[in-house]
Chain A
Amino acid sequence: MSQIKFIFTGSPGAGKSTAIAAISEFPPVATDVFATDSLSGVKEKTTVAMDFGEITLENGQKVRLYGTPGQKRFRFMWEILVQGGLGLIILIDNRRPNPVADLELYLSNFETFIDETDAVIGITGTDVKDTPTIDDYYELLNKRNQMFPIFTIDARQKDDVLLLLNALMTCLEIPS
């Protein structure tokens, strides 16, 4: 039987590892190393292969939570990790220079996977930088003729991560 998994992707430093840690049953397996590029100004370490967390259902089934590396040079990992995924959680760091373009990058790169499943978008860092606004992100979605839930979240808060999963699962349950 194939794995049951949700995929967390999004811009470097947006909180993918943190979001997985917020709901995983064990401290996520991390593959983080020292960041040597401009990301090092934001955080010391970055994920280069995957984050991996897990939730066990009542019947013993495991739901895997995979986090992808954020940087686009790791596209090959994105392609490996999404295989068989239930849906995509995209986290975007609002503090970066062009977060709307970041979102567009992930929507484009995961297009096939999103078409087959669904996606939800969490915007982080809005407490530090409040632009672009949610309206700006929706403008991008409208241009792309797409409609996904977008929430501003704090990836450290379990409730916020659960809200994303709830919205994603609702989208999966409702015919589109």
Chain B
Amino acid sequence: MKFGKLGSLLGRKKNADISTASNEPQVVAPAVEAQKKPEPIKQTPTPPPIAEENETMQLDQDKPITDQSSLEATEQELSMEDDDDERIVVADFSKEQVALSEQRLMEFTRNCAGVYGAIISTVDGHSVAQALKRDIPANKISTMTSSLLALGESIARESEQRFCQFVILDNSNGRVVSLRINDILMLTCISTKDSNLGMLLSSGRSTADALSEILR
């Protein structure tokens, strides 16, 4: 299965097929955000390219969708939500790789005190996978943190410094830390003030390194 479509689905639709124990962090996708998203222009959704259609079919066969109408509705919803530009096409990971990554994210949120969200996204702002204990808009955060990380790296370059390790937002009641996983992926960790910053950075770094191995 192609990672591209899965990434889109994970990011944009409820992952109802992923079972989680009650004490596990819920893997929540920002469906609400996607629905709220204003569409300034009304245009007939263009059908995705044939190759992408095939990918969708494969993906939907993997998902527990029971009838053809649900499948069509899913496809239509996807194309209504975003245009083809918004589909990830570069990365190509297996379902197993993505499942392992999510498992790693859940471990991170469980083991690091105060952390209530971890998001893997592409460096150009597409949400890929996430483990969230609160209902926060992962898509939006993915896009915004991609801007922030890029700005951080630019500021480092302009300041004649190299290799931006973390971009840290230290807020009155929490922290947001973004860091690179590799050339095309990044990790964002969201925590309350209960976390220890040093722990958060160190644990975030090791999670990113582990993810880098998984998502080779």
Residues of A whose CB lies within 8 Å of any CB of B are 12, 29-41, 46, 48-50, 69, 71, 73-74, 76-77, 97-98, 101, 104-105, 108-109
Contact = CB atoms under 8 A, between A and B. Distances in A.
A37 B122 CA distance: 9
Given A37-B90, A98-B43, A108-B41, A71 B85 contact: yes
A46 B43 CA distance: 25
Contact of A76 (B82, B144, B154): B144
Contact of B143 (A31, A74, A98): A74
Top 9 nearest A-B pairs (CB, nearest first) are A31-B150, A49-B147, A108-B40, A33-B123, A36-B122, A36-B90, A49-B151, A48-B150, A73-B143
A33 B121 CA distance: 13
B146 A39 contact: no
Contacts of A69: 147
Nearest to B140: A76
Contacts of A29: 154, 158
Interface SS of A by simple majority: mixed
Interface of B: 40-41, 43, 46, 82, 84-91, 122-126, 139-140, 143-144, 146-148, 150-151, 153-154, 158, 183-184
A124 to B, nearest CB: 17
Nearest to A33: B123
A156 B9 CA distance: 38
A164 B41 CA distance: 25
A170 B171 CA distance: 45
B124 A36 contact: yes
Given A40-B90, A73-B125, A76-B143, A33 B150 contact: yes
Given A34-B90, A34-B183, A37-B126, A48 B46 contact: no
Given A76-B147, A108-B40, A108-B41, 8 more contacts: A31-B154, A33-B150, A38-B89, A71-B85, A73-B126, A74-B143, A76-B140, A76-B144
Contacts of B124: 33-37, 39, 46, 48, 71
A40 B147 CA distance: 18
Given A33-B123, A105-B40, A108-B41, A38 B85 contact: yes
Contacts of A73: 82, 86, 125-126, 139, 143
B131 to A, nearest CB: 21
Given A40-B89, A71-B85, A34 B123 contact: yes
Nearest to A104: B41
B41 A101 contact: yes
Given A29-B154, A35-B90, A38-B87, A101 B125 contact: no
Contacts of B84: 38, 97
Given A12-B85, A38-B84, A108-B40, A32 B125 contact: no
Contacts of A50: 147, 151
